[in-house]
Amino acid sequence: MEYPLQVYISESIDSWGYPLDVDRRLLEKIIAHEVCHQWWYNLIGNDEVDVGFLDEGLTCWSTDYFGEYYHGNWEYFQYTRYIDEVRLYYETYGYSSKINQSVYECIATGTDYYYVAYHKAPLIFEMLRQNLGLTDFLDGLKLYFERHKFEIVLLSDLQQAFEDVAGQSLDWFFFPWFDNLYLPKYSITKNIYNSETQKLEVTIVDLNEPLNDYDYSQRVPLYIYDASSSLISSQTVWINGTTELSFTLSNQPHRVSLIYSDYVLVQIEHEYDLALDSIVQNVDQWIPGYEMASFLMISLILIGFVIVNYKRKIKNKI
């Protein structure tokens, strides 16, 4: 437990029954975590009911950064990788995982507060570090600390510090990753190649976009293969909500894959779903709307759900 200028670690950890190497790592993690609270919560305060995720998220990120600094791996203390858990969370529990909620809101929405504060929030901060780079990220934390030590802060205060260091608005990052209910779930709805112009046209949509308030923006590796599964092109693309891409290829493409490696954060159904594959169609084979089947199916289900609810309300009134 953390208190201003004091940290308590119980000796009962010795009897938790873990193997010795796990015991030592866990003890080191607990000490690092509670000491990090001397900055996040004790020197910079925040309301633990309304934005408790803020200090816990920063403390967990800082603990893992300690693991990276001294042990060479940001995931050193993560017995289950945050990213693996977060990608599967929706399918496992069946409800949203919005971070920016009060404790009362978490109870009302059925959100696991421990999960969003201790696992998802530090992962989102790590994604921000991946986007800004380590130097700007640490400079942002330092600026945040210098501005607000001995004060009570909100998430917007932290965002402002990072924006001042980065020299750009970070609404595109903070709003979706902290306020959306669901992770992105991508689908390739158009994937056609014109051999005459040598143009490959690809459209990527987020099937969860209608359920969220903000469009996600993130970099995703995209690989293009020929019929023999040889890689003919690879690059990292920005997916900003519904995204249309165009590639010039002299070789005939056969398959397009989005690769969910590193810190690409998406909703998946199985832990091994680390790529989204789509077979390329030639322009003379393409039927407009054919690849939209999955997207239209989900839309029809949502429309049907609204109609059923409406009829039920009318029936109850009668």
Per-residue b or e along 239-253, where b marks 16 or more CB atoms closer than 10 Å to that residue's CB? beeebebebebeeeb
Average pLDDT over residues 287-299: 53
Virtual torsion, Cα 236, 272, 86, 209, nearest 10 deg = 60
- Per residue in 122-169, pLDDT (tens digit) is 999 999 999 999 999 999 999 999 999 999 999 999 999 999 999 999
- Band of residue 303 on the pLDDT scale cut at 50, 70, 90: low
**pLDDT of amino acid 305:** 54
Query: Does the structure show a pLDDT above 90 at 36?
Result: yes
222/240 Cα distance (integer angstroms): 14
Q: Which residues contact 109 (CB under 8 A, 6 or more apart)?
A: 95, 96, 98, 101
| Percent of the residues in the chain that have a pLDDT greater than 70, as a whole number | 84
pLDDT tens per residue, range 10-21: 777 666 666 656
The pLDDT, as a whole number, for residue 29 is 92
Averaging pLDDT over each range in 18-27, 257-266, 280-289, which range is the top one? Answer: 257-266
Sole residue written with tokens 């990276």: 68
Of 220, 304, 307, nearest to 262 (Cα)?
220
What is the β-pairing status of strands 217-225 and 6-7? unpaired
Can you give the pLDDT at residue 26? 85
Where does residue 104 rank: exposed (0-12), middle (13-18), buried (19+ CB within 10 A)? Answer: exposed
H helices of the chain, where?
A: 20-36, 52-71, 82-93, 103-109, 113-115, 121-132, 134-148, 155-166, 171-179, 293-317
Report the range of poorest mean pLDDT among 95-99, 209-213, 244-248, 286-290: 286-290
pLDDT in the model for residue 10: 76
Please, which pLDDT band fits residue 25 given cuts at 50, 70 and 90?
confident
Give the C-alpha separation, 268 to 317, whole Å: 40
Q: What share of the chain has pLDDT > 90, as a percent? A: 71
pLDDT at 120: 96
Tell me, what's the pLDDT at 114? 93
- Mean pLDDT along residues 62-78: 96
Give the chain's domains with CATH numbers.
2-179 (1.10.390.10), 186-297 (2.60.40.1930)
* Over residues 270-282, mean pLDDT: 92
**Amino acid 222: pLDDT:** 97
Q: Which amino acid is at 229?
A: S
C-alpha dist (Å) from residue 45 to 65, 152, 191, 274: 21, 4, 50, 39
Which residues are registered as beta bridge partners of 236?
A: 221
Rg of the chain over all Cα atoms, to the nearest angstrom? 23
CA 300 to chain CA mean position, Å? 27
Q: How many residues are listed for the chain in this entry?
A: 318
Higher per-residue pLDDT: 301 or 210 = 210
How sure is the predictor about 271, in pLDDT bands with cuts at 50, 70 and 90? confident
Q: Give the pLDDT mean for 228-235.
A: 96
Question: How confident is the model over 91-101, as a mean pLDDT?
Answer: 80
Report pLDDT digits (tens) over 172-227: 999 999 999 999 999 999 999 999 999 999 999 999 999 999 999 999 999 999 99
Q: Taking all residues of the chain, what is their mean pLDDT, rounded to a whole number?
A: 88
Q: Which residue has the tokens 């997207």?
A: 295
pLDDT exceeds 80 at position 278 = yes
Q: Is there a contact between 218 and 239 (Cβ–Cβ < 8 Å)?
A: yes
